[in-house]
Amino acid sequence: MISRQSPNDAFVIQVAMDQEAVPFLAAAESHEHLRTQGPADFQLLGFDFGTAVLVRSGIGLANAATATTQAAMLYRPSAVLSAGSAGGVGEDTSVGDVVVADSVRFHDSDATAFGYAPGQVPNMPTDYPADARLLTAARQWADGKGHVKFGEALSGASFITEANIGHMRTTFPAALSTDMETAAIAQTAHTFGIPFAGVRAVSDLCGPKAGQDFSLSLDEAARISAQATLGLLRAFNSQRCTDIADV
């Protein structure tokens, strides 16, 4: 038990599925179950870099937004990170890559008839940038690691396959990955003014190229994403400690 640690002002790490939560639980030095609220489950984890609330939201945009809202209101997190698996969209994205989102959009939000950009929810930003400090930490962790890519990530309610990938690539040519939660997490974090980052591992390609028609198991993608997410947070904490020491 880690009852002397508080979930308030902790990092929130949000995943959709139990399998994506497993490697975080395995890596934690200690953990305490906080609550189950609707489909979302909340656990307080202790790591060498500090405390994190692991949120398993359930699959999809609505579950993701609801769980992030609950976390924001209950724990006032210092940052929210979307972790887990994703489908590869970019032509140069490969199975096993880590995609760190520098911005996120909804791929199936279309209000262009009213003058909004593709993927833009009316009266909201065109996209949701990741927090600059978290991106700096991610780049520090990723230095020298060839399987880490930084770029645009997409989310939507539709599962993307070879049959419908063409329109997405035409509309969002810079996109590297897609999933069913990250943009909803990012929008909710934006609404609450909480720093956000997305760290997803590519488990399969949404339109396989020659020689790339294979996929990782969900367990392996979850392991890769968790390793990257925890590496980012360790780098972030190290930088934060350096900044404090320099004051």
Catalytic residue status for 204: yes
Q: What is the pLDDT of residue 3?
A: 41
In a domain, 67, yes or no: yes
H or E element in which residue 86 lies = strand 79-88
State which residues form the domain around 195.
11-246
DSSP 80: E
Q: What is the pLDDT of residue 214?
A: 65
In a domain, 2, yes or no: no
DSSP 113: G
In a domain, 42, yes or no: yes
Q: What is the pLDDT of residue 212?
A: 61
DSSP 157: S
In a domain, 142, yes or no: yes
Of the candidates 149, 174, 133, 183, the one whose C-alpha atom is nearest the C-alpha of residue 16 is: 183
Catalytic residue from among 20, 127, 131, 181: 20
Q: What is the pLDDT of residue 2?
A: 37
H or E element in which residue 135 lies = helix 132-142
Q: What is the pLDDT of residue 7?
A: 86
In a domain, 236, yes or no: yes
Catalytic residue from among 102, 179, 204, 243: 204
Q: Are 106 and 183 in contact (CB under 8 A)?
A: yes
Q: Kindly report the CATH number assigned to the domain that includes residue 157.
A: 3.40.50.1580
**Residue 228: strand, helix, or coil:** helix
10-residue mean pLDDT series, the chain (247 residues): 65 98 97 95 96 97 98 96 95 93 95 95 96 97 95 92 83 95 98 98 79 78 97 90 55
- 177-210 burial, b for 16+ CB within 10 Å, e for fewer? bbbbbbbbbbbbbbebebbbbbbbbbbbbbbeee
Q: What is the pLDDT of residue 239?
A: 75
In a domain, 6, yes or no: no
Catalytic residue status for 181: no
Q: What is the pLDDT of residue 243?
A: 60
The total number of structural domains that make up the chain: 1
Torsion angles phi and psi, residue 31, rounded to 5 = -155, 155
In a domain, 3, yes or no: no
Tell me how many helices (H) and strands (E) the chain has.
6, 10
In a domain, 1, yes or no: no
Rounded Cα distance between 101 and 98, Å, is: 10
